[in-house]
Amino acid sequence: MELIVILLLINSVRGSVVAVNNSYDKKNIKILVIGDYCLDKYYYIDAELDQVADYAIKPSYFATNQSQYPGGAGNVTKNLVSLGADVYCFGIIGNDGAAFELKNSLTVVGANVDNLFAFENCWTNIYLRPIRMSNLTRDTMNEIVCINKYTINQNMTKLIIDKLKEIAPQMDAIVVVEQFNKEEVSVLNSAVKQVLINISKIYNDKIFFVDSRNFIDKYENMHIKCNQFEFAQLINKKNFPLSKTKELLKNGVKLGIKNKAFYLTTGENGMIVFDNLGNSFNIPAISTIDDVDTCGAGDSATAGIVMALCLGYDKLQASLIGNIVASITIKQIGVTGEATFDEVFSLYDEKMKQVGYAKDTYA
């Protein structure tokens, strides 16, 4: 579906310009991000410095530069802060150097790290991403992932739940970011998931948004999101078609009805939104002719959707805003990018003008 068509669809669905929730100033939106926090470490290797030592068969690579950024739930946090939200981190880290670096990188961007729990024996999750530089080319090599392997026991779970119940009522939105496929070693074990569902029903006026790679079907009464490959795994289809097949619609509709909405991202094809009334809508991606790096694009889309929902935009508008944020961040090569509030909503207004749409007001 062409972008101009979906803009008209948004217009017709809304009937008239829906007033943005001006009771919120973007700087006063408080968002809790709970989930799998990671440290993304990039090493830039100079291919001209390769050496073969006398004790090794394979060559040694030499990194001449490195950088690091918050990853996983940390990347969603970074993007929300960039969009102007007041963000509180909630997760598990280790008593290790990576934890220090992760907390520092989150503090630098402006997030609150008071509720990152350093449990004994736990590891801080790390993504190591080596990039090999040769002349004017760059080759992204196999990433190395180090994840926590220590089971979160009952005492740790009780501490997490008690703190979650204390802090959730103070928030405008709670964002769940689930990166890995083992619940028992995550802050988001089955007991914490159930508490989140219960809290969402008590505070039904708050935004609860879940971005989960492996357990999206375990949530209810929330806005939920995953990508097409994760969804294929959920419905046991290896070769997942990107068109709106009957099976896609059936399973997508089920998840949408069970929740506030289901946002299914499909890469360059954009997003399919399933609402809680059984409807589905295609939201096209924002096209770009530049080189792109899609690492972290899903996280930035999540941040855009959540920020838009907090500001009072509806599901379809929020989806388009999520695609806009992703279109900005993927142009930032070799990093998990970010977008500013002014960048995003200026582009949103520009797209609305394509159909003669009145400019929305926002704080």
**pLDDT score of 3:** 46
pLDDT of 87 higher than 80 = yes
Least confident of 53-57, 91-95, 130-134: 53-57
Q: What is the average per-residue pLDDT within 87-101?
A: 96
Q: How confident is the model at residue 186 (pLDDT cuts 50, 70, 90)?
A: very high
The reported pLDDT for the residue numbered 43 is 94
pLDDT at 26: 57
The answer to whether 106 touches 33, Cβ cutoff 8 Å, is no
Across the range 159-181, mean pLDDT stands at: 96
Query: Is residue 362's pLDDT more than 50?
Result: no
What's the burial of 219, exposed, middle or buried (CB within 10 Å: 0-12/13-18/19+)? buried
Residues contacting 140, CB < 8 A, separation 6+? 129, 131, 132
Q: Quick check: 337 pLDDT over 70?
A: no
Instruction: Quickly state the pLDDT bin for 298 (edges 50, 70, 90).
Output: confident
Residues in contact with 38: Cβ distance below 8 Å, sequence separation at least 6, in sequence order: 70, 71, 72, 73, 74, 102, 124, 125, 126, 127, 179
Candidate ranges 46-50, 156-160, 321-325; pick with highest mean pLDDT: 156-160
Which amino acid makes up residue 300? S
Indicate the pLDDT class of residue 336, thresholds 50, 70 and 90. Answer: low
pLDDT digit string, tens, across residues 33-52: 999 999 999 999 999 999 98
Q: Once rounded to an integer, what is the mean pLDDT over residues 311-338?
A: 80
- The bridge status of strand 173-178 relative to strand 30-35 is parallel
Give the number of residues written for the chain: 363
Mean pLDDT across 331-339: 62
CATH class label, 3-17+24-38+73-123+151-353 = alpha beta
179 phi and psi, to 5 degrees?
-95, -35
Q: Where do we find the tokens 């909630």?
A: 90
**What is residue 253's DSSP assignment?**
H
With residue 193 as reference, give the H or E element that holds it.
helix 190-202
Per-residue confidence (pLDDT) for residue 23, from 0 to 100: 39
Q: What is the mean pLDDT of the chain?
A: 84
Least confident range from 2-6, 184-188, 212-216, 241-245: namely: 2-6
Distance of CA 310 to the CA centre of its chain: 15
Task: Please tell me the distance from the alpha carbon of residue 158 to that of residue 25, in angstroms, as a whole number.
Answer: 34
With beta carbons less than 8 A apart as the criterion, state whether 113 and 338 touch. Answer: no
pLDDT at residue number 14:
43
* Cβ atoms of 337 and 330 closer than 8 Å: yes
* Per-residue confidence (pLDDT) for residue 110, from 0 to 100: 95
Please say whether the beta carbons of 110 and 137 come within 8 A. Answer: no
Residue 355 reports pLDDT greater than 90: no
Gap between the Cα atoms of 17 and 342, Å rounded: 20
* Banded pLDDT at 4 (limits 50, 70, 90): very low
Query: Which of these ranges, 53-62, 151-160, 294-303, 307-316, has the smallest mean pLDDT?
Result: 294-303
Sorted by where each begins, the domain ranges of the chain are: 3-17+24-38+73-123+151-353
Say if residue 109's pLDDT is above 50.
yes
- What percent of the chain is modeled with pLDDT above 90? 60
* Amino acid residing at 322: G
Q: Is the pLDDT of residue 331 over 80?
A: no
pLDDT tens profile 17-36:
333 443 345 558 999 999 99
**Which pLDDT belongs to residue 17?**
36
pTM above threshold 0.75? yes
Mean of pLDDT values over 218-237: 89
Place of tokens 């899609």: 294
Q: Which of 180, 162, 175 is nearest to 36 (CA)?
A: 180
Contact at 8 Å (CB) between 319 and 271?
A: yes
